[in-house]
Amino acid sequence: MKLPLVVLVGPTAVGKTALSVAVAQAVGAEIISGDSMQVYRGMDIGTAKIRPEEMGGVPHHLIDIKEPDEEFSVAEFQARVDELIPAICARGRLPMLVGGTGLYVRAVVEKYTFTPMEADHELRARLREEEERHGPGYLHARLAEVDPVSAARLHPNDLLRIVRALEVYAQTGVPISATQTAAESEPRYDDLMIGLTMDRAQLYARIDQRVDAMLAAGWVDEVRGLLARYPPHVRSMQALGYRELVLYLRGLLTWDEAAALIKRNTRRFAKRQFTWFRRERRLTWLDVTGPEARNRAVAEIVTLIREKWPCRERKGRIE
């Protein structure tokens, strides 16, 4: 029998965090973070990481499990989640995967397999030097020659994943797109997949407001403290917003330029998240536009959960 899993996805700033806590409290769930950056300690403001006082007594997993200079891959994420889900169910609780990193979510709900390989840090550094020497887009063009599938999926500015794809090809002679395969068969878990959506103009306004709030809360000081301990080229420091603030601290952007760039890039990121999740055919979409929409969405998700697992007690035990 497949284990139950609730999946809650949506673009950044749509309100997943608060809504997921409300649902978890109602049905007795534990939350597994599906965010690729919230795994890093000390990266709190810029990742919109939930604070302990906001958790409402709901256990949260895969937050603050890595130092910013440590590697964390989708394969490791998949393996950790595959250990967490049965452990949560064994406690009589419902696992709920919440996040906006599409590939991470897909790796859990579908039968993705990964070819493990050692990191070649020397090759990575050499590739980054080539990008700097030849200009933006050079490595993306190289990737398009050897792995057009990955090149079509990756944004030309996503240097981290472009370098990784070229590294895999250099090590194996096989495109990374061929080593990451998803079976078209039935899902890995007995899942209920929910997607949150919102009027685009309202979402973009929320993004701009959240960036302003993050900056006012000391995001620059957070980045300054990280730079005192880690070099700017580590993976975590390439995250959205962090890379722009690194440029600001290096004097390459003004304050206004950095703030505007973060807002623009976050809006573009949200658009790409919408595009990714729209491909997920099994998602039930709920619109959370408007002041009362969140409460309605919570009630609807709780109803969907109880309809799918009618033997479920209020405390969350799976019979």
Question: Helix or strand or coil: residue 131?
Answer: helix
CB 202 within 8 A of CB 227: no
Residue range 4-114+182-308 forms a domain whose CATH class is alpha beta
31-61, pLDDT tens digit by residue? 999 999 999 999 999 999 999 999 999 999 9
pLDDT of residue 122: 82
Q: Which residue ranges make up each domain of the chain? A: 4-114+182-308, 121-179
Query: What residue has token string 């256990």?
Result: 59
pLDDT of residue 318: 41
Calculate the alpha carbon distances from 168 to 110, 119, 181, 233, 288 in Å.
22, 9, 15, 19, 40
Output the average pLDDT for the chain. 90
Burial of 84 per CB tally in 10 Å (0-12, 13-18, 19+): middle
103-152, pLDDT tens digit by residue? 889 889 987 766 666 677 888 888 998 998 888 899 999 999 888 888 98
Q: Is the pLDDT of residue 245 over 90?
A: yes
pTM for the whole thing?
A: 0.81
Calculate the alpha carbon distances from 106 to 36, 187, 189 in Å.
13, 10, 12
The rounded distance, in Å, linking the Cα atoms of 32 and 93 is: 12
And the tokens for 113?
């397999």
pLDDT of residue 107: 87
64: alpha, beta or left? (left if phi > 0; alpha if psi -120 to 50):
left
And the tokens for 34?
């599906």
Amino acid at 281: R
Query: What residue has token string 């952007």?
Result: 253
pLDDT of residue 319: 39
Q: Report the DSSP pairing between strands 29-33 and 94-99.
A: parallel
CATH for the stretch 121-179? 1.10.20.140
262-315, pLDDT tens digit by residue? 999 999 999 989 988 988 889 999 999 988 999 999 999 999 999 999 865 544
Question: Helix or strand or coil: residue 103?
Answer: helix
Count the Cβ atoms, other than its own, within 10 Å of residue 310: 8
